[in-house]
Structure 1
Amino acid sequence: MAKEHLLERADTPDEKARVEKYVTVHGQELSPTNYAVCQADLLIKNDRQATVYLGNSLIPHEPYSRESGDQWPETKWRFHRMLSNPPFGVTWGGKDGYEKEARKLAKTRYQAGMPRVNDGALLFLQTMLAKMAPPETGGSRIAVIFNGSPLSNGDCGSGESEIRRWILENDWLDAIVMLPDQLFYNTGIFTYVWLLRNDKPASHYGRVMLIDARQQFEKEPKSFGNKRHRITDAHRAWIEERYRDGWAKGYADEQVKVFPREDFAYHKVSVVFWQTDEHDQPAIVTEPYEKAFTAANVKKEQDFHESDLSFRVRVKTDGQEKTVGFTVKSEDNAARKFKEAMSGADETLAVEWTHRRYVQDDEYIPHGEDIAAFLKREIAKPIIRWEETKKDGKTVLGYEILPNKYFYRYQPPTPAKDLLAEFWRLEKEAEKMLEGLAK
Structure 2
Amino acid sequence: MNQQALSSFIWSVADLLRGDYKQADYGKVILPFTVLRRLDCVLEPTRAAVVAEFETRKSLGIDPTPFLKRKSGLSFFNTSDIDMKRLVGDQDNISSNLQFYIRGFSEDVRDIFERFEFATQVDRLAKAGLLYQVTERFARIDLHPDKVDSHQMGLIFEELIRRFSELSNETAGEHFTPREVISLMVHLLFVEDDEVLSKPGVIRTIYDPAAGTGGMLSVADEYLVEHNPNARLVMNGQELNPESYAICKADMLIKGQDVSKVVFGNTLSDDGHAGEKFDYMLSNPPFGVEWKKVEKEVRREHEQQGFNGRFGSGLPRVSDGSLLFLMHLISKMRPAADGGSRFAIVLNGSPLFTGGAGSGESEIRRYVLENDLLEAIVALPTDMFYNTGISTYIWVLTNRKPANRKGRVQLINGSGFWQKMRRSLGSKRKMISEEDIGEVTRLFGEFTEAQLVTVVDAEGKEVTRQVMRPGEAEPVAPEGGKVKLAPLSRIFANQAFGYRNITVERPLRDEVGEVVLGQRGKAKGNSQPDSRLRDTENVPLTEEVEAYFQREVLPHVPDAWIDHDKTKVGYEIPFNRLFYVFEPPRSLDEINAELKQVTDRVRMMIGELS
Same fold (TM over 0.5): yes
2:353 to 152, 169, 184: 152
Q: Specify the code of the residue in structure 2 equivalent to 1:54.
A: F
Match of 1:261 in 2: 494
Give me the whole-angstrom Cα distance separating, in 2, the residues matched to 1:56 and 1:422.
61
Give me the whole-angstrom Cα distance separating, in 1, the residues matched to 2:591 and 2:241.
50
State the secondary structure of the residue aligned to 2:505.
strand
CA contact (8 A) 2:508 2:530 kept: no
Match of 2:517 in 1: 330
Match of 1:289 in 2: none
Q: Specify the code of the residue in structure 2 equivalent to 1:39.
A: K
Q: How does 1:197-212 map to 2 (within 5 A)?
A: 197-212=398-413
Indicate how the Cα distance of structure 1 residues 144 and 118 shifts in structure 2: closer, same or farther if over 3 A, else same. same
Match of 2:134 in 1: none
How far did 1:356 drift? 9.2
2:249 to 11, 30, 39: 39
Match of 2:294 in 1: 98
Bigger proportion of residues as strand = 1
State the secondary structure of the residue aligned to 1:143.
strand
CA contact (8 A) 1:185 1:225 kept: yes
CA contact (8 A) 1:89 1:118 kept: yes
CA contact (8 A) 1:210 1:258 kept: yes
Q: How does 1:300-379 map to 2 (within 5 A)?
A: 305-310=507-512, 329-330=516-517, 359-379=533-553
Indicate how the Cα distance of structure 1 residues 388 and 228 shifts in structure 2: closer, same or farther if over 3 A, else same. farther
Q: Specify the code of the residue in structure 1 equivalent to 2:501.
A: K
Q: Specify the code of the residue in structure 2 equivalent to 1:102.
A: V
For residues 381-403 of structure 1, give each alpha carbon's deviation from its aligned partner in whole angstroms, at most 9, with x where no partner exists.
Answer: 2142213474xxxx541111111
Q: How does 1:286-297 map to 2 (within 5 A)?
A: none
How far did 1:247 drift? 5.2
2:235 counterpart of 1:25: yes
How far did 1:248 drift? 11
State the secondary structure of the residue aligned to 2:487.
coil
State the secondary structure of the residue aligned to 2:234.
coil
Q: Which of 1 and 2 has higher RCO (CA within 8 Å, sep 6+)?
A: 1
How far did 1:257 drift? 1.1
Q: Specify the code of the residue in structure 2 equivalent to 1:242.
A: L
Give me the whole-angstrom Cα distance separating, in 2, the residues matched to 1:361 and 1:38.
53
1:8 to 199, 207, 226: 226
Give me the whole-angstrom Cα distance separating, in 2, the residues matched to 1:412 and 1:362.
32
Q: How does 1:118-133 map to 2 (within 5 A)?
A: 118-133=319-334
Match of 2:505 in 1: 272
CA contact (8 A) 2:502 2:538 kept: yes
Greater CA drift, 222-231 or 260-269 = 222-231
Indicate how the Cα distance of structure 1 residues 330 and 411 shifts in structure 2: closer, same or farther if over 3 A, else same. same
Greater CA drift, 45-54 or 173-182 = 45-54
Give me the whole-angstrom Cα distance separating, in 1, the residues matched to 2:291 and 2:530.
47
Give me the whole-angstrom Cα distance separating, in 2, the residues matched to 1:264 and 1:356.
31
2:262 to 52, 59, 74: 52
Q: Specify the code of the residue in structure 2 equivalent to 1:139.
A: G
Give me the whole-angstrom Cα distance separating, in 1, the residues matched to 2:494 and 2:530.
41
Indicate how the Cα distance of structure 1 residues 383 and 141 shifts in structure 2: closer, same or farther if over 3 A, else same. farther
Indicate how the Cα distance of structure 1 residues 85 and 360 shifts in structure 2: closer, same or farther if over 3 A, else same. same
Give me the whole-angstrom Cα distance separating, in 2, the residues matched to 1:45 and 1:228.
32
For residues 217-276 of structure 1, give each alpha carbon's deviation from its aligned partner in whole angstroms, at most 9, with x where no partner exists.
Answer: 111111122211101111110011101112599x76821111110111101011135xxx
How far did 1:418 drift? 6.7
Q: Specify the code of the residue in structure 2 equivalent to 1:53.
A: V
State the secondary structure of the residue aligned to 2:573.
coil
Q: Specify the code of the residue in structure 1 equivalent to 2:545.
A: I
For residues 143-183 of structure 1, give each alpha carbon's deviation from its aligned partner in whole angstroms, at most 9, with x where no partner exists.
Answer: 00101111111110111111111111111111111111110
TM-score for both structures, normalised by structure 2: 0.51
Give me the whole-angstrom Cα distance separating, in 2, the residues matched to 1:137 and 1:207.
23
RMSD: 3.1
Give me the whole-angstrom Cα distance separating, in 1, the residues matched to 2:493 and 2:399.
17
CA contact (8 A) 1:218 1:229 kept: yes
CA contact (8 A) 1:30 1:54 kept: yes
How far did 1:368 drift? 2.4
Q: Which runs of 5+ in 1 are unaligned?
A: 11-15, 60-68, 274-304, 312-326, 334-354, 433-439
Q: How does 1:178-193 map to 2 (within 5 A)?
A: 178-193=379-394
How far did 1:358 drift? 7.1
Give me the whole-angstrom Cα distance separating, in 2, the residues matched to 1:144 and 1:181.
17
CA contact (8 A) 1:307 1:330 kept: no
How far did 1:53 drift? 1.1
Match of 2:130 in 1: none
Give me the whole-angstrom Cα distance separating, in 1, the residues matched to 2:487 and 2:519.
61
CA contact (8 A) 1:141 1:195 kept: yes
Indicate how the Cα distance of structure 1 residues 235 and 267 shifts in structure 2: closer, same or farther if over 3 A, else same. same
1:403 to 575, 578, 587: 575
Bigger proportion of residues as helix = 2
CA contact (8 A) 1:109 1:130 kept: yes
Indicate how the Cα distance of structure 1 residues 378 and 124 shifts in structure 2: closer, same or farther if over 3 A, else same. same
Give me the whole-angstrom Cα distance separating, in 2, the residues matched to 1:105 and 1:204.
33
TM-score for both structures, normalised by structure 1: 0.70
2:276 counterpart of 1:80: no
State the secondary structure of the residue aligned to 1:330.
coil
Give me the whole-angstrom Cα distance separating, in 1, the residues matched to 2:383 and 2:287.
14
CA contact (8 A) 1:164 1:400 kept: yes
Match of 1:89 in 2: 288
How far did 1:365 drift? 1.1
Give me the whole-angstrom Cα distance separating, in 1, the residues matched to 2:375 and 2:336.
15
State the secondary structure of the residue aligned to 2:446.
helix
Indicate how the Cα distance of structure 1 residues 414 and 306 shifts in structure 2: closer, same or farther if over 3 A, else same. same
CA contact (8 A) 1:208 1:260 kept: yes
Q: Specify the code of the residue in structure 2 equivalent to 1:141.
A: R
CA contact (8 A) 1:178 1:192 kept: yes
Give me the whole-angstrom Cα distance separating, in 2, the residues matched to 1:86 and 1:389.
38
2:375 counterpart of 1:174: yes
**Percent of aligned pairs with the same residue?**
39
CA contact (8 A) 1:144 1:193 kept: yes
For residues 305-325 of structure 1, give each alpha carbon's deviation from its aligned partner in whole angstroms, at most 9, with x where no partner exists.
Answer: 3433359xxxxxxxxxxxxxx
CA contact (8 A) 1:89 1:120 kept: yes
Greater CA drift, 149-158 or 365-374 = 365-374
Give me the whole-angstrom Cα distance separating, in 1, the residues matched to 2:573 and 2:340.
25
Match of 2:205 in 1: none
Q: Specify the code of the residue in structure 1 equivalent to 2:361.
A: E
Give me the whole-angstrom Cα distance separating, in 1, the residues matched to 2:531 and 2:239.
58
